[in-house]
């Protein structure tokens, strides 16, 4: 899909307040170059990492069979893509560490007649579970998993991770109590409070709005600007939302 298609389909939320650095793999310190348009993005910086040891479970189309003992709160969703079938899991409980509640975010990948654990992270609990969706972000049939870890602000996220059928994180975004929206035409728009990127820069009421799409073999920044807080929040429908409901399935 060409950049113009995204730009025509996305409301860029009113008047820009000046160019700045797009939210990068890590929370940046201060403003960056005047333009980051075209820069390639990746999964660098993600907290979803390969597990310390191999783990397998028998394959079943029902991802709820992946629930671990000791984790009473459980959600999952399956993403089927040309590169493979993956299952995302968010669960909370004590597990084997009695008395200490944690959240675990997991990605299992189908390998023949079994699931193989390929990515994992542990977060302190109890807290709101990470948001998790199977989403066709590019509207090309290549469904991916989208994880958004919670922030201290209900309905807003801290970290967004996109996992493809290979079981690899292909896109990481720092949200810093921000949110993300998938436009009807595909791609991703992130809204990050300017105060989370550069505290004290005078734009604490603004949001850094970044339009991201897959172009020339990589996820890239297609548009970036600061927008007023009210304009940004007019696009807010949760930590992650897809404006095409048929392209997205939430974990349950």
Q: How far is CA 204 from CA 14, 59, 166, 201, 228, in A?
A: 17, 48, 39, 7, 10
26 Cβ partners below 8 Å, 6+ apart? 45, 174
Q: What pLDDT does 96 receive?
A: 64
Q: What pLDDT does 217 receive?
A: 94
Q: What percent of the chain stands above pLDDT 70?
A: 82
Q: What is the mean pLDDT of residues 173-187?
A: 97
Q: Where do the DSSP E strands lie in the chain?
A: 40-41, 56-58, 73-81, 84-93, 102-111, 114-124, 131-135, 144-150, 157-163, 169-182, 188-193, 206-215, 218-228, 240-242, 248-250
Domain count along the chain: 1
Return d(Cα 112, Cα 79) in angstroms, integer. Answer: 16
Give the residue numbers spanning the domain of 22.
Answer: 3-250
**Residue range 116-164, pLDDT digits in tens:** 999 999 998 777 899 999 999 999 999 999 999 999 999 999 999 999 9
**Residue range 195-228, pLDDT digits in tens:** 877 665 555 689 999 999 999 999 999 999 999 9
Tokens 């009210």, residue?
230
Among 49, 93, 42, CA closest to 72: 93
CB-neighbour burial class of residue 222 (10 A; exposed 0-12, middle 13-18, buried 19+):
buried
């Amino acid at each position: 899909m060409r950049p113009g298609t995204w730009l025509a389909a996305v409301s860029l939320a009113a008047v820009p307040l000046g160019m700045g650095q797009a939210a990068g793999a890590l929370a940046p310190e201060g403003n960056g170059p005047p333009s980051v348009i075209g820069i390639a993005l990746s999964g660098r910086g993600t907290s979803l990492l390969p597990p310390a040891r191999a783990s397998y479970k028998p394959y079943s189309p029902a991802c709820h069979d992946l629930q671990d003992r000791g984790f009473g709160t459980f959600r999952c969703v399956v993403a089927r893509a040309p590169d493979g079938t993956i299952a995302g899991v968010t669960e909370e409980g004590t597990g084997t560490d009695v008395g200490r509640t944690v959240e675990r975010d997991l990605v299992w990948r189908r390998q023949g007649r079994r699931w193989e654990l390929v990515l994992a992270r542990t977060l302190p609990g109890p807290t709101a579970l990470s948001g998790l969706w199977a989403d066709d972000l590019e509207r090309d049939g290549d469904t991916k998993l989208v994880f958004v870890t919670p922030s201290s602000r209900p309905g807003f996220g801290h970290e967004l991770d996109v996992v493809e059928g290979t079981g690899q994180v292909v896109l990481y975004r720092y949200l810093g109590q921000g949110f993300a929206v998938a436009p009807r035409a595909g791609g991703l728009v992130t809204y990050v409070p300017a105060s989370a990127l550069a505290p004290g820069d005078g734009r604490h009421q603004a949001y850094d709005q970044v339009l991201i799409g897959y172009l020339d073999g990589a996820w890239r920044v297609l548009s970036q600007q600061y927008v007023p807080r009210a304009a940004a929040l007019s696009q807010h429908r949760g930590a992650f939302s897809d404006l095409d409901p048929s392209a997205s399935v939430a974990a349950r």
